[in-house]
A and B are shown apart, each in its own frame.
Chain A
Amino acid sequence: MNVLYFAWVRERIGLPREEIETEAATVADLVTELCGREDRYAAAFADLSALRVAVDQTLSDFDAPLAGVREVAFFPPMTGG
Chain B
Amino acid sequence: MDVRVQEATFDLGAESAGFVARCAASGAVVTFTGIVRDVAQGLEAMEIEHYPGMTEAALSDIAAEACARWMLEDALIIHRHGRLAPGEMIMMVATAAPHRKDAFEAAEYLMDYLKSRAPFWKREITRAGATWVAAKDTDEDALKRW
Contact = CB atoms under 8 A, between A and B. Distances in A.
A and B associate: yes
Interface of A: 4, 6-8, 54, 57-59, 73, 75-81
Interface string B104-125: 0000000100111111111100
B122 A79 contact: yes
Nearest to B81: A80
Contacts of B134: 76-77, 79
Contact of A78 (B34, B53, B111, B135): B135
Give the interface SS of chain B, mostly helix, strand, loop or mixed. Answer: mixed
B119 A6 contact: yes
B118 A80 contact: yes
Nearest to B54: A57
Contact of B121 (A54, A58, A59, A76): A76
B54 A7 contact: no
Given A54-B51, A57-B51, A81-B114, A75 B90 contact: no
A6 B133 contact: no
A80 B114 contact: yes
Contacts of B118: 78, 80-81
A80 B53 CA distance: 15
Nearest to A11: B132
Contacts of A57: 51, 53-54, 57
B34 A54 contact: no
Given A8-B132, A57-B57, A81-B90, A75 B119 contact: yes
Residue from the set B91, B114, B116 with the largest chain A CB neighbour count within 10 Å: B116
A79 B120 contact: yes
Contacts of A79: 115-116, 120-122, 132-135
A57 B51 CA distance: 9
Top 8 nearest A-B pairs (CB, nearest first) are A77-B135, A80-B120, A7-B121, A81-B115, A57-B54, A80-B118, A79-B122, A80-B114
A48 to B, nearest CB: 15
Nearest to B120: A80
